[in-house]
Amino acid sequence: MKSMTLLVIASVLSVAAHAEDSAKTNCDAKIAELENILKTDGPGLHGGMAHDYKEHLKAAKAARDNGDMGKCQTSAEQAKTIYNKARGK
């Protein structure tokens, strides 16, 4: 019975750890995409949109560094939305 309890606890902890890794991987991928956009299309963003895009990218990186994957993804999505609006997508 004790081994069954340990197995259940290990399973729950494993799922939680995998979810955290997945969120970090997703955040890293979004930041990489935003950095690539900045390198390739960055000069096409002008004025306030460029500033806002860079601020959201900076916020996403700071959130990732602080371990706040929810804020990272939110900031990354906001930057992507700004880019899409600027490009008329």
pLDDT at 75: 94
39 is in which domain, residue-wise? 23-86
As a residue count, the chain comes to: 89
Task: Report the domain count for the chain.
Answer: 1
pLDDT at 89: 62
pTM: predicted TM-score of the whole model, two decimal places: 0.71
H or E element at residue 22: helix 2-41
Provide the pLDDT confidence category of residue 11 given band limits of 50, 70 and 90. Answer: low
1 SS3 class: coil
Q: Which of 87, 80, 86 is nearest to 26 (CA)?
A: 80
Q: 18-22, 57-61, 85-89 — which one is most confidently predicted on average?
A: 57-61
Q: Which of 88, 72, 65, 89 is nearest to 34 (CA)?
A: 72
